[in-house]
Amino acid sequence: MALPCCTSQAEAPSGAHASPARPRIERDGTTSLAATIPEPLHARYDAVRATSVAFAQGLSDADATVQSMPDASPIKWHLAHTTWFFETFLLSEPGNLPGSRYRPYDPRFAYLFNSYYEAAGPRHPRPQRGLLTRPTLDDVLRYRRHVDAAMHERLLHADLPPDVRALITLGLHHEEQHQELMHTDLLHLFAQNPLRPAHRQPDLASEIAGPLQWIAHGGGQHRIGHEGESSGHFAFDCETPAHDVLLRPFAIAARVVTNGEWRAFIEDGGYRTAGLWLSDGWATVQREGWGHPLYWECHDGEWQSMTLAGMQPVDDDAPVRHVSYFEADAFARWAGKRLPTEYEWEVAATTASSSQPAMAQRFGAVWQWTASPYVAYPGFRTAAGAVGEYNGKFMCGQFVLRGGSIATPPGHSRATYRNFFYPHQRWQFCGLRLAEDR
């Protein structure tokens, strides 16, 4: 199930309280929790957990503690919260896993590292996560090792019930989503530092855009969404149930919008032309003083952008990143086009024709805004218990993005994946591709 703490930044109100409830996986056939789990299970677990720790290598305790804005979380908190998930929903639940009774590493961590699960009890206010100077980064890493040792003891059992195996898989996908957030949240933090620190070496590969081509589609009836458990593959519940949609003829760009094209938008006064913007978008531009994508800076007449490799020249042929839904929509109007719906995007991404150009940069370049609000598919039902809080209660006021970015784990790049954010948010690797009616 998609975790809004990972893909969306909506969370429960600070300081909310609820009576603890056992987090069970109960399904009515309309949600998808079960998955085909690679064997051995402990190898998959170790690989995911090691990736999170590897990202934090080289960071100081201060790097991992500071919170740059309420939408972002400290690296230390991500490392602890993903550990809390396994401790709370698997190790601490009698009957979930075989073996001796689990003893929590520190009972106080249940309050510190819950995110938005009302059924799991009270939590530390989200905007104050950066004030948690204790536990230290070393303490959090010891917490991870404590939980990992307990998980290993139980993962070697071959008789794990299918629902428990599905919950472990959900926890691993949940952690991978946090790995993507660790990239974006650290980038936002380092962008606030005048030293413009780097966390990794720059990617020297340049993405050549090429001329803009269009993929024409005749429309018609198409199957959308994930088939869920019957497919034998993992999916978050918001990707289900699969259903039919009717599309009018349309065309979608074969590639995403580039920095060079966005530069033309800026130079043509795009950020100063009210008629291009939705009302809320124009109000945001005026209030925030937007005039370019997040992290762009003009030095000596040349655009540069903050990256995890430090400041780098803006490559005109690379995809534009860190733009909001409001900006994407305004750019599309300026270009005389529109944003695709999420249905158009998915159909174009899963159909191929020898007479049409390929849909390039579907995955791995940049998340792509669609014109579709994030709402439930027909027939969607939330699961019972704490796991049911992942998606259903956040289906209001946000917009769907499709594809995947340079920070997205490979297993999350699939045509049915529905990312979602509020229209003003742009610290994620968000861009766009254009569409038009035909």
Tell me whether residue 13 is in a domain: no
Tell me whether residue 353 is in a domain: yes
Cα 131 to the center of its chain, rounded Å: 24
Give the angle 397-363-260 at the CA atoms, nearest 5°: 85
Task: List, for residues 59-68, the tens digit of each pLDDT value.
Answer: 999 999 999 9
Are 242 and 171 within one domain?
no
Are 187 and 221 within one domain?
no
Are 226 and 181 within one domain?
no
Are 163 and 83 within one domain?
yes
Are 183 and 246 within one domain?
no
Are 397 and 432 within one domain?
yes
Specify whether the backbone of 69 is left (phi greater than 0), alpha (psi in -120 to 50) or beta.
Answer: beta
Are 124 and 238 within one domain?
no
What pLDDT is attached to residue 388? Answer: 75
Cα torsion angle, 41, 46, 47, 51, sign: positive
Burial (0-12, 13-18, 19+ Cβ within 10 Å), 368: buried
Are 277 and 170 within one domain?
no
Tell me whether residue 1 is in a domain: no
**Which residues are CB-contacts of 272 (< 8 A; sequence separation ≥ 6)?**
none
Low-confidence ranges of the chain (pLDDT < 50): 1-38
What pLDDT is attached to residue 411? Answer: 85
Are 155 and 219 within one domain?
no
Are 140 and 239 within one domain?
no
Count how many domains the chain has: 2
What pLDDT is attached to residue 200? Answer: 87
What pLDDT is attached to residue 389? Answer: 76
What pLDDT is attached to residue 423? Answer: 98
Are 152 and 61 within one domain?
yes
CB 428 within 8 A of CB 184: yes
Question: Domain limits at 135?
Answer: 41-191
Task: List, for residues 217-231, the tens digit of each pLDDT value.
Answer: 999 999 999 998 777
Are 393 and 277 within one domain?
yes
Tell me whether residue 270 is in a domain: yes
What pLDDT is attached to residue 355? Answer: 81
Query: CATH number for the domain including 327?
Result: 3.90.1580.10
